[in-house]
Amino acid sequence: MAEKSQQPEALVTEITPQSQDFSAWYLDVVRRAELADYSPVKGCMVIRPYGYAIWELIQQELDRRFKATGHVNAYFPLFIPESLLMREAEHVEGFAPQVAWVTRGGTEDLEERLVVRPTSEAIIGTMYAKWIQSWRDLPVLINQWANVVRWEKVTRPFLRTTEFLWQEGHTAHETEQEAQEETLRILALYKEFSESVLAMPVVDGQKSESEKFAGASKTYSIEALMGDGRALQAGTSHNLGQNFAKAFTIQFQGRDKALQHAWTTSWGVSTRLIGGVIMTHGDDSGLVLPPRVAPYQVVIVPIPRGNWQETVLPKAREIRDSLVQAGIRVFLDDRDAYTPGWKYAEWEMRGVPLRLEIGPKDIEKQQVVLVRRDTRAKAPTPVEGLHGPVGALLDDIQRGLFEKARAYRDEHTSATASYDEFKAWMEGRPGFVQAPWCGSAECEALIKSETQATIRNVPFDSPPPAGPCLKCGQPATVTAWFAKAY
Ligand SMILES: [Zn+2]
**pLDDT given at position 5:** 40
Rounded to 5°, the CA angle 335-339-342 comes to 100
CA of 221 to the centre of ligand 1 (A): 22
Reported confidence tier of residue 3, pLDDT bands at 50, 70, 90: very low
Q: How remote is the CA of residue 468 from the centroid of ligand 1, in Å?
A: 8
Task: Specify the amino acid at residue 1.
Answer: M
* pLDDT, position 405: 98
Predicted confidence band at 1 (pLDDT cuts at 50, 70, 90)?
very low
- CA 145-454-177 angle, to 5 degrees, is 55
For residue 80, how far is its CA from the centre of ligand 1 (angstroms)? 40
pLDDT > 90: percent of the chain: 90
pTM, whole model, 2 decimals?
A: 0.95
Provide mean pLDDT across the span 396-414: 97
Query: d(Cα 372, Cα 139) in Å, to the nearest integer?
Result: 47
Torsion of CA 297, 298, 299, 305, to 10 degrees: 180
Are residues 122 and 84 in contact, defined by beta-carbon separation less than 8 angstroms? yes
Inter-helix orientation angle 419-427/441-451, to 10°: 40
pLDDT band at 12 (very low <50, low <70, confident <90, very high): low
- From the CA of 257, how far away is ligand 1's center (Å)? 46
Tell me, in angstroms, the distance from the centre of ligand 1 to residue 360's CA. 70
CA–centroid distance, residue 443 to ligand 1 (Å): 5
pLDDT of residue 179: 98
How does strand 140-149 pair with strand 100-105? Answer: unpaired
Phi/psi for 106 (5° steps) reads 60, -120
444 C-alpha to ligand 1 centroid (Å): 7
The closest of 208, 201, 203, 245 to 227, measured between CA atoms, is 201
pLDDT at 4 (0 to 100):
40
- Tell me how far the alpha carbon of residue 1 lies from the centroid of ligand 1, in angstroms: 55
Cα 180 from chain centre: 23
Residue 471 alpha carbon to ligand 1 centre in Å? 5
Separation of 437 CA from ligand 1 center, angstroms?
6
Distance (angstroms) between ligand 1 centre and the Cα of 472 equals: 4
pLDDT of residue 306: 85
Q: What separation in Å is there between the alpha carbon of 460 and the centre of ligand 1?
A: 20
- State the average pLDDT over residues 121-143: 97
Q: What is the pLDDT of residue 314?
A: 96
Query: 112 pLDDT exceeds 90?
Result: yes
pLDDT of residue 91 exceeding 70, the answer is yes
Rounded distance, CA 171 to CA 266, Å? 6
For residue 7, is pLDDT > 60?
A: no
Ligand 1 geometric centre to CA of 243 (Å): 28
Q: How far is the CA of 474 from the centre of ligand 1 (A)?
A: 6
Q: Which of 154, 177, 150 is nearest to 164 (CA)?
A: 150
3 state DSSP class of 366:
coil
For residue 300, give Cα distances in angstroms to 16, 114, 326, 405, 482: 27, 51, 15, 27, 44
pLDDT at 2: 38
Contact of 270 with 236, CB cutoff 8 Å: no
Q: Does the pLDDT at position 14 exceed 90?
A: no
pLDDT band of 88, cuts 50, 70, 90: confident
Distance 176 CA to ligand 1 centre (A): 30
**What are the tens digits of pLDDT across the range 293-329?**
999 999 999 999 889 999 999 999 999 999 999 999 9
pLDDT digits (tens, 9 = 90+) for 431-469: 999 999 999 999 999 999 999 999 999 999 888 998 999
Nearest C-alpha neighbor of 202 from the set 181, 231, 227: 231
| Cα angle: 92, vertex 97, 100; to 5 degrees | 95
Task: Provide the mean pLDDT of the chain.
Answer: 94
pLDDT tens across 348-393, in order? 999 999 999 999 999 999 999 999 999 999 999 999 999 999 999 9
Give 208's pLDDT tier (boundaries 50, 70, 90): very high
Distance CA 476, CA 244 (A): 32
Give the pLDDT score at 11.
Answer: 52
What mean pLDDT comes out for the span 165-174?
A: 98
Q: How far apart are CA 381 and CA 394, in angstroms?
A: 14
Distance 482 CA to ligand 1 centre (A): 14
* Dist. CA 448 → ligand 1 center (Å): 13
Condensed to tens digits (0 to 9), the pLDDT of residues 209-241 reads: 999 988 899 999 999 999 999 999 999 999 999
Looking at the chain, how many residues does it have?
A: 486
